[in-house]
Structure 1
Amino acid sequence: MQVHSRAYTDKANVFNIMKNIYSKEGIQGLYRGNMAMIIRVFPYGALQFTTYEQYRRIFFATFGPESHFARGLSGSCAGLTAVTCTYPLEFVRSRLAYQTKANIIYTSYIDTFRKVYTTESGLKGFYRGITASWLGMVPYAGISFYSFETLKRRCLKTRWKMLCKTNPNNSDEIVLRHFVHSLIGGFSGAIAQTVSYPCDVTRRRMQLAKILPDSHEYRNIISTMKFVYKQHGIFNGLYKGLSINYLRIVPQTSVSFTVYEFMKSMLDLQTGIPIKTG
């Protein structure tokens, strides 16, 4: 939907497109490029959450533990670090996911790496569109982590029994229940995705520039955004496919933040607020 694939332009509805892909390519068509995504998820998640903790220590020490700016900046820097290190895997996934069964260009992950490297300026070719990704990641990761941490603190301060429980590692503190982490995590992801989505569309177009029609229009971020806006407008262009991204991002961020907090609890790293303060 982001690139207005001609193979599916007759089906504008999200679920119709999914049915169309399934009818033409079977279940494999819906999972094309998924292995590259799975391979990318491990280092991406590890880098994002690990560096977030490190950046947070640095920026909180500089701006103070209650600084809203430090929360957002920590998330943005963590996102930038993770996306920069794993971008080639995202690039390969996009190439594999775009092609159809009737128009196979890349036969495997290795074949994709080899062809891109030999025909698109070596390693530089794998970073096509990364500037758009950086621009999108700053608000996406920043808002996502900021919203989660802010909502988390707000929920803790309400002290509702339904929302909180005693910290299993420290009986003098209360922490949020896991279902609350899940809810605010999904909400944070939805807000962040809405703000940063045009950059996501731009990034995808630039990643696929070499195999898309009108490839000469995708020279840089500005020319790509202008072309998409001129051809399709805002909602049908720069925000095309946002609905299906909600269905992906909301559960993804919900699970990510819930597991993040659960593992902090398991490793005795989770902190809450003292019971005696209220």
Structure 2
Amino acid sequence: MSSDASKFRAADQVIRSGIAGGVAGCVAKTVVAPLDRVKILFQASNPEYHKYAGTWSGAFRAGAQIYKDSGTLGLFQGHSATLLRIFPYAAIKFLAYDEVHNLLMPTHAQETNLRRFSAGAISGTISVFFTYPLELLRVRMAFHTIHSSTSGRPTRPSFLQTARLIYSEGAPLKSTGAPITRDLFHTLPLLKFYRGFTVSLVGIVPYAGTAFLTWGYLRATLVPVAPDGRRPRATPLADLGIGALSGAVAQTVSYPFEVVRRRMQVGGLTEPGRWLRWGETVRAIWARGGPKGFFVGLGIGYLKIVPMNAVSFAVWQGMKRLLDL
């Protein structure tokens, strides 16, 4: 086989792997989009919906209120930005995981929990780096709850409107200490689209690492390798179950980071002239709710993450079978 043919086959496999991951992410996110909207409102302490936070029933009451105010479209507000972000995010994540997994663990005998965790953490970090601005846009669109306009009809921020608002937010004032970001914002205004990025990087390591660690460990345990060195294909039902448990474990480990990240991401709305820091965000959450403040919305987080991960992993595996990966 010529080198050109080998390169074509490799490129074709990369494309198919990316498509499999992207489709899996989009399907999974669409299934849980209404729960995602409610969870963001809870995490960011939206004043209109904070009263519902703290109970399982509150999530459904909040969803009912959104439906009453804005109809079905209200439940999917920000979902267009979600799909724009999640396809490349999931495509990069699953593609990177396959590549890093093959690099760190080319054979079943070399699979270890540390390497599984590392492969997941690295793939999650790569995907976040390339798609974070789209995540910020999604959060801003979901957080926005103003439903009136000069015509008296409900309004929802579009993707482009949200992007313009973020780009035009006032230059940051002095934070606690030196004026650390004023000049940087003037020089690189696109940094406004990276509010909360550092905490996202820290948060994605335990989340993606734990999710893929649990996924790999359970598959190795429940779908053992045959004597010929091959692992039989798991059934779609097994993929759903393993994916669900992986999501639940990962969500528990990484949830406090997610709460801090959401607060930092909406900082441009609550305090448009300042770049919120890790320390002050953590202190604000602690002052408002104590230790429980870092787990606000965790119940609905499970309602969202468990089915989302289950569908994501199952569709990912199904697409890999369909595309002959």
TM-score with structure 1 length normalisation?
0.84
The one-letter code matched in structure 1 to 2:199 is: A
Q: Secondary structure at the match of 1:246?
A: helix
How far has the Cα of 1:24 moved from its partner?
A: 2.1
How far has the Cα of 1:43 moved from its partner?
A: 0.4
Q: 2:297, 2:138 → 1: CA distance? A: 17
Alignment pair present for 1:201 and 2:268? no
Alignment pair present for 1:6 and 2:47? yes
Cα distance change, pair 185–140 in 1 and its aligned pair in 2 (3 A)? same
Cα distance change, pair 173–225 in 1 and its aligned pair in 2 (3 A)? closer
Q: 1:41, 1:224 → 2: CA distance? A: 26
Specify the alignment match of 1:111 in structure 2. 161
Specify the alignment match of 2:14 in structure 1. none
Aligned ranges 1:149-228 → 2 under 5 Å: 149-157=216-224, 174-212=232-270, 219-228=276-285
> Identity percentage over the alignment?
35
2:291 counterpart (229, 234, 240): 234
The one-letter code matched in structure 2 to 1:68 is: N
Q: 1:103, 1:222 → 2: CA distance? A: 35
Residue by residue over 1:4-63, the C-alpha shift from the partner in whole angstroms, topping out at 9 and shown as x without a partner, is 21112333311111112222222222111110001111101110000111111222269x
The one-letter code matched in structure 1 to 2:221 is: R
Alignment pair present for 1:144 and 2:211? yes
Q: 1:97, 1:198 → 2: CA distance? A: 20
**Which structure is richer in relative contact order (CA contacts within 8 A, separation 6 or more)?**
2
Specify the alignment match of 1:260 in structure 2. 316
Specify the alignment match of 1:165 in structure 2. none
Cα distance change, pair 173–96 in 1 and its aligned pair in 2 (3 A)? closer
1:40 counterpart (77, 85, 92): 85
Residue by residue over 1:44-84, the C-alpha shift from the partner in whole angstroms, topping out at 9 and shown as x without a partner, is 1110000111111222269x722221110000010011111
How far has the Cα of 1:248 moved from its partner?
A: 1.3
The one-letter code matched in structure 2 to 1:57 is: N
Q: 1:97, 1:56 → 2: CA distance? A: 34
Residue 47 of structure 1 contacts residue 82 of structure 1 at CA under 8 Å; is this kept in 2?
yes
How far has the Cα of 1:257 moved from its partner?
A: 0.9
1:77 counterpart (122, 126, 133): 122
Alignment pair present for 1:56 and 2:123? no
Q: Secondary structure at the match of 2:232?
A: strand
Q: 1:88, 1:103 → 2: CA distance? A: 27
How far has the Cα of 1:140 moved from its partner?
A: 0.3
TM-score with structure 2 length normalisation?
0.73
Calculate the aligned-residue CA RMSD, in Å: 2.6
1:86 counterpart (109, 127, 131): 131
Specify the alignment match of 2:113 in structure 1. 68
Unmatched tracts of structure 2, length 5 or more: 1-41, 150-154, 172-184
Q: 1:124, 1:131 → 2: CA distance? A: 12
Q: Hey, which bits of structure 1, 4+ residues long, moved more than 4 A? A: 103-106, 213-216
Count, aligned residues: 256
Q: Secondary structure at the match of 2:233?
A: strand
Q: Secondary structure at the match of 2:52?
A: coil
